[in-house]
Structures are given as structure tokens and as C-alpha cells.
Homo-oligomer: A and B are copies of this chain.
Amino acid sequence: MKHIYLDYNATSPVRPEVLEAMLPFYREQFGNPSSVHWAGRQVGGALEKAREQVAAFINASPAEIVFVSCGSEGDNMAIKGSLGALKEKGNHIITTTVEHPAVLETCQALEKEGFDVTYLPVDKDGQLNLDDMEKAITEKTVLISVMWANNETGNIYPIEEIGAIARKYNIRFHTDAVQAVGKVPVDVQKAKVDLLVISGHKLGAPKGVGAIYVRRGTRMTPLLHGGHQERNRRAGTQNMAGIVGLGLACEMAGAEQESYYHRVRALRDKLEDGVVALVPDIKLNGTPNRDQRLPNTLNVSFAYIEGESLLLNLDMYGIAASSGSACTSGSLEPSHVMGAMCVEVTLAHSSTRFSLGPETVPAEIDKVLEVLPATVQRLRDMSPLYNCGRTSDNCETCQTIKRI
């Protein structure tokens, strides 16, 4: 059976060129870049080259790039490091209800330590109201953290406008750009962000490496204390192969960004149009305005059926997608993003994300559209909720699936 991978927002294969570039750093050039001898010198240049590649990709300078181990570490570092350094100034963070757990759980942990957090709501399409944001700002606000694009819905947030608000009030601005980079243009100057996080494995570099952009002059307490690596910003021997891979992946993603956008968007639109046409009783999750969504992401709920069983059925055809169902979330609750959008609870359990990638081809989309309608129908025929006139739970109940 042919595999059809439509879960690029979860992770992506390493690009062949990237793997090629990484290989020498495991054995021939295995040195520690902190060493003064040949083994260290052999790799120092590669480390700095990767830093330049990442910097160029997001319009930063190399000295503003710190390599970390993953997107989650970057988000933790951005938030805890900022709050630690800005303690004297204030203790209030503004973020949103739809952030990745790496941001949300970090904020919740900080609340336990006495920090104040405002979680901005979103509307039913998952969009923010920037007036809410401005109103939430107080004298104590030291950090605004809003993701560039949402991993579940693909919604793209108005980062430039938020950056302008943050500047206006002189508040530090962090954005989790893990899902945005490579898919839409990302420019830290235009967006006026102070901290921006990327993760290697979402853009063709390996798992276990990421980077954080730290605008010059942005004081941070370290998340990892120890050695002097990364200009004292992040201790730990650098993951040379991963870093070299991330550098090249950024360079390639930058060069291909426009062609990627058009190619993958055409495929996603074809899938979206097909699903809407072929499957009744569905709900699109996220903004209907496709220009405001990542070009590769489609999130749709299939009424009356549960997400995991749909995924497993698709999996039997080799189709890999993901779900907001509690059964796949690792927690006991369905997706907090669906909750924040006040998606009715059974629909939240059935929310299904298809996320396309650079290796996706039209025949794969055709296959999904061939298989999906009957699969959904088969599960509906098995469902006690289908065709029984039962009304769905109202939005009161749906509150229970919100985490915040």
C-alpha cells in the first residue's frame, strides 16, 4: 500500500540534501565547536554558517540567533527568560487561548508562581480581536506572546499589527513561528517581533533542533544554565549535525517559499473543495478566508463520528492525518483550540487536520477524496448520534472542553 502523508504540521521527513549536509558532522567532523584544536576548528565555521542561514531566512543578524533543541524549548525560553529578566518591570503576560501547549502550559505554570496571564479569546473562526488585546494591556504587561500561525487550523495571525501595538506600548513581543516559517514569508523586522521561535522538524530539518531569534538588546535569563555556548544564552554542547541541517533547511525553504506556497495551496484548495462537495454535515475549523490560513492546512469536523476512529480508518488506506480528538491528544480532553473556538464538543472530537507538504502530489489528494466519503459514511452508520434527531450539546457544555 502506498503511504499518503498529510500530517506535515506534526513533523516532516528530513530533506535529502539536508541529511547529506548533516552526515559529515557525526564522524569525520565530530568536534566540539568550543574546542581550540583542529577538531573544534573544523566545525566552528559550519556553526556560524548555519547561524547566517537561519538569520537570512527571517531577516535577522547571525548574532541574534540562538540554537535550541526544539520549538518547545524555544517557547519556554522566550517566555520564562523574558519574565525572569523583566521581573522589576511587571508580571503580566498577554497571550491567546489558541497557543501551542509549549506556550499555554508555560503560562499556566507561571500563573502558579504568581504571574498574571490574560488569555485572549478567539471568535468561532479562531480569529483574534486586536481591540481586546489593546484593552488587556496594563502598566504591568511585559510580554505579548502570539503565535504566527496556528498548528491546528492554520489560521495566520496579524503579526505585523500586533508588533505595532507592542511597539506602541513598549512591550516585548514573542511569536511562536514554528508553523509559519517556510509556509509564509517571515520577516522579524517587518513584524517587529523581539523573540521568534522555529523548530527544525517542521521544515525538513531533523527533530531535536530549533532556533530562537532574540532581538539585539533583549535581556533574558537563561533557561539552561551552564557552559558558555551560544554567547551564554543556552548551555550545552551544540548539536552540530542538527544545526547544520537546520541552516540548510532554512536556506532552501527561503529560496522555495513562493513556489511552495502556490503549489501546496492549489493542492490544499483542491482537497478543501472536494471535501466540501463530497461529504455532507461537515464544519470547517478555522477562518474560511483561505488567504488568512496557511496554504497547506485544512481542518474539518465530520459530524457524528469520532476523530481517532476516522484516522485509523484512513490509516488503513495509508493516509496519515491528525485529529483534535481527546483520544489522540495525550490528554483526556479534545483540542483546546476547538474549545477556544467554541466548536460543539462532538465536532471537536471529530476535528481532522490534513496538512500537506512539499512532497505531496495531486494523485494523493485524489485518493483521499476517493476514500474519505465512504469511510465517513461507514462510521456514521455505526454512530448512535447519526440520524437519531439528537440535538448536539449546547455551548454551555462546550465550555467544559476549554482548558482555560
Contacts and interface: CB of A to CB of B under 8 A. Distances in A.
A13 B27 contact: yes
Interface string A379-395: 00000000000000000
A238 interface: yes
A10 interface: yes
A330 B101 contact: no
A237 B201 contact: yes
B320 A35 contact: yes
A42 to B, nearest CB: 10
Given A36-B315, A76-B225, A228-B331, A30 B11 contact: yes
Contacts of A323: 36
A102 interface: yes
A226 B101 contact: yes
Given A69-B239, A237-B199, A311-B36, A226 B76 contact: yes
Given A105-B226, A224-B72, A14 B27 contact: yes
A318 interface: yes
Given A37-B311, A38-B320, A105 B225 contact: yes
A321 B37 CA distance: 7
B207 A237 contact: yes
B72 A235 contact: yes
A292 interface: no
A251 interface: no
Contacts of A12: 30
Interface string A165-202: 00000000000000000000000000000000001010
Contacts of A329: 228
Contact of A73 (B108, B224, B229): B224
A70 B237 contact: yes
A222 B222 CA distance: 15
Interface string A13-37: 1101001000000110011101111
A224 B27 contact: no
Interface in A69-114: 69-73, 75-76, 100-103, 105-106, 108-109
Interface residues of A, number: 76
B35 A70 contact: no
Interface string A288-319: 00000000000000000000100110110011
A227 interface: yes
B223 A39 contact: no
Contact of A3 (B39, B100, B228): B39
A209 interface: yes
B39 A7 contact: yes
A362 interface: no
Nearest to A325: B36
Contacts of A14: 26-27, 30
A208 B239 contact: yes
B37 A206 contact: no
Contact of A221 (B5, B103, B109): B109
Interface of A: 3, 5, 7, 10-14, 16, 19, 26-27, 30-32, 34-40, 69-73, 75-76, 100-103, 105-106, 108-109, 199, 201, 206-209, 221-229, 235-242, 308, 311-312, 314-315, 318-323, 327-331
Top 10 A-B residue pairs of the complex, sorted by shortest distance between their CB atoms = A208-B239, A228-B330, A69-B69, A102-B226, A72-B236, A70-B236, A37-B320, A13-B30, A105-B225, A11-B32
